[in-house]
Amino acid sequence: MEKPPYKRIWYACPYCGKRLFIYDNTALVKGVYIKCKGCNKEIKVQIKVH
């Protein structure tokens, strides 16, 4: 069984573009909310595996 390629990606705020956190290409995130320290808006994070 082959391992998926490992790649680290920055998740950026869709409003101001500030980098919030790093995730890899094997991440699956659903139903998580984070507050941006740049613009103080709440962002719903959804990361799907391709």
CA distance 25 to 50: 8
Give me the residue spans of the domains in the chain: 8-47
- pLDDT 10s digits, 1-50: 677 778 999 999 999 999 999 999 888 999 999 999 999 999 999 998 65
Answer yes or no: are the C-beta atoms of 45 and 21 closer than 8 Å.
no
How high is the pLDDT of residue 48? 85
Closest of 46, 50, 24, 29 to residue 14, by C-alpha:
46
The SS3 assignment for 13 reads: coil
> Distance from first CA to last CA of the chain, Å, rounded?
17
pTM over the 0.85 mark: no
Answer yes or no: are the C-beta atoms of 43 and 14 closer than 8 Å.
yes
